[in-house]
Structure 1
Amino acid sequence: MLNPPPMAWELARSDPCEIDPTPIVIAAQLRYAGARFSFRGGVKLMQPGPDAVGIRGVMPPYNQPEPLSAEAHGQLTLKRIDRPFAFMGKLHLSPLSIGEFGFATSSFPIIFLGDSKAPAAVMGARTEENVFITPDGELDPEVYVPTFVRQYPFVFANDPANDRLVVCIDRQAPMLGVGGEVPLFENGQPTQYTQNAIEMLKEVERQRRMTLEFVRVMQDLDLFETKTITFQPTDDKGATSGEPQKVAEFFQVSEKKLNELSTDAYLRLRDRGAIPAIYAHLLSQMHWSKIINRVIRRAMAAQPAAAQMN
């Protein structure tokens, strides 16, 4: 069974983010419904779905989020590492924004999850297993890399008490350290690299608001239906073996409901730019066989290795 993506997490910490007196903050007008980090009673991240889907716990890849500041991180640098996307190995689902649907449809299924109908890219059929990352941490060079991944180790945090957004980093990110090639600060000020990262976070916020509106319109028009993906096991001769196995259950746009829309409702979707995203989502469902086949191949490859160890 495909679990919902870990789009919300809570970390119990003795040193909550608000202890840093001078974090980098962003104007509150970029804030929208649905917190990223919450500074009340711990740390929460919701990234980048419209709201939580009920999953709590440590969410990869952010393990130690801290507000970015020159005082705390003035000596940090970005360093070149082998297999820079290895941290994706435990991301079997990635939050996705509407602006990414066209790119993502070439790589993996796009689905909607939870009461919020949060869009997500499916990168594996088993929890904490990304079939596009090899066991030794190499990324499939042909797969689309979601913005959620590309923004790492940066992320926005919401500080509701002060009505602001705070730029955070994952202090445990493997590409951060001292003595690397690209500094985060120079003379106490963010470098061009850090400024570019902040601009990217702002664009993520804008895309997130567009995604919220897209989902709201789809819900208003009652276009979602429940979809179940199953897999039929076979024996070595290709004959059916056992009962079908449920791989995933999620929400999908109903083609029947879409085709039955009134002209006015269809034009409402068209004028909001939703039609291309809808068809990208529907077209992406063809990738389920690719996901399942990769899971099977990985499991088969692991069997000889386990046998050799025994």
Structure 2
Amino acid sequence: MATAPQNPALPLFYKDLVPLNSQQHASWKTRSTDKATWLVGVNSVPLTVEEFPQAQRNFPIIFTAGENPVPLVLMGMNEGVNVYVDEDGTVNTPVYVPAYARRYPFMLARLRPDAEELSLCIDPTSDLVGEGEDGQALFDGTEPTEATTNMLKFCENFEIAGTKTANFMAELAKHNLLMDGELNIDIGTGQPFTYRGFQMVDETKLREVRGDVLRQWNQNGMLPLIYAHLFSLDLVREIFGRQVSQGKGPQVLPSA
């Protein structure tokens, strides 16, 4: 169900990644846009656990399959389909946009595998950064501008949220709460559409968690986040319906 990055060696959205520096990018600027072209055709986007309360109002929240699962929001039920972003990048409905997508084309990354510090990097192929007259300067001489420091802070907060998300996922794994997911959508044709390839919280096992653990989860805010995920799954039918209304629904095979 998840859309893979075009280059497996790079994170989703990024076609290239270079460290931002005042020598190479002295005259570069960052530009705002009302188009999210990098989201076109992307049906799932990584999500931090802090975003669950906002995201669950608009999207189903699922977890990737396999080891080291991460949370995702579904913006389309099939690969290559995003029902909220038109072909020109226009977000066609007011929805919450995950921080992962809002930080593009910036991100914090290690310049070397053994490096301890993260450096602010950019995707130089993006039209949101580069030389030109429009936009906010990234550097004032050798010093970063307010625009750059604000983006650095945003990316730092994203990394902090990522650590909290990893802790949340580790707690789910500790109690073996994730199960292979399956979503069935019946549109009345007698041939339901079935979606697999993801994980979800097992409600049966959740009901069996010890009371002292549930009390701790309630106090630290984890329990409401689990239920935000579970409640959000009801939105798959809305996503599916939007796909069908946009002519992007899966094909119904003729009866034998």
Would you call these one fold, judging by a TM-score over 0.5? Answer: yes
1:283 corresponds to 2:231? yes
Aligned partners of 1:262, 1:233: CA distance in 2, in Å? Answer: 39
Structure 1 residue 135 displacement after superposition: 2.5
1:230 corresponds to 2:149? no
Aligned mate of 2:83, from 119, 125, 131: 131
> Which fold has the larger relative contact order, with Cα–Cα distance below 8 Å and residues 6 or more apart in sequence?
2
CA 1:296–1:216: 2 relative to 1, 3 Å: same
After TM superposition, the structure 1 = structure 2 runs for residues 57-136 of structure 1, keeping only pairs within 5 Å, are: 59=12, 61-81=13-33, 83-114=34-65, 115-136=67-88
Structure 1 residue 147 displacement after superposition: 0.2
Alignment TM-score, normalising by the size of structure 1: 0.74
After TM superposition, the structure 1 = structure 2 runs for residues 189-208 of structure 1, keeping only pairs within 5 Å, are: 189-208=143-162
Q: What's the Cα RMSD here?
A: 2.1
Instruction: After superposition, give the CA deviation of every residue in 1:218-259 in whole Å (9 maximum; x if it has no partner).
Output: 11111112221133355xxxxx25x33323432111222212
CA 1:143–1:122: 2 relative to 1, 3 Å: same
Equivalent pair of 1:109/1:287 in contact (CA under 8 Å): yes
Aligned position for 1:219: 173
What letter is aligned with 1:232?
D
SS at match of 1:174: coil
Structure 1 residue 264 displacement after superposition: 1.6
CA 1:283–1:262: 2 relative to 1, 3 Å: same
Aligned position for 2:252: none
Structure 1 residue 182 displacement after superposition: 0.6
Aligned position for 1:180: 134
What letter is aligned with 1:209?
T
SS at match of 1:164: coil
Structure 1 residue 128 displacement after superposition: 2.5
Alignment TM-score, normalising by the size of structure 2: 0.88
Aligned partners of 1:119, 1:300: CA distance in 2, in Å? Answer: 24
Equivalent pair of 2:3/2:80 in contact (CA under 8 Å): no
Instruction: After superposition, give the CA deviation of every residue in 1:4-37 in whole Å (9 maximum; x if it has no partner).
Output: 34379544xxxxxxxxxxxxxxxxxxxxxxxxxx
After TM superposition, the structure 1 = structure 2 runs for residues 245-284 of structure 1, keeping only pairs within 5 Å, are: 245-284=193-232
Equivalent pair of 1:84/1:175 in contact (CA under 8 Å): no
Percentage identity across paired residues of the two chains: 26
Instruction: After superposition, give the CA deviation of every residue in 1:145-191 in whole Å (9 maximum; x if it has no partner).
Output: 00001111101112333322121101111222321231111112110
Moved more, 265-274 or 282-291: 265-274
Equivalent pair of 2:3/2:43 in contact (CA under 8 Å): yes
Aligned mate of 1:244, from 172, 177, 192: 192
What letter is aligned with 2:173?
Q
Aligned partners of 1:79, 1:7: CA distance in 2, in Å? Answer: 24
Structure 1 residue 104 displacement after superposition: 0.1
SS at match of 2:23: helix
Aligned position for 1:167: 120
What letter is aligned with 1:253?
V
Aligned partners of 1:179, 1:139: CA distance in 2, in Å? Answer: 26
Moved more, 191-200 or 152-161: 152-161
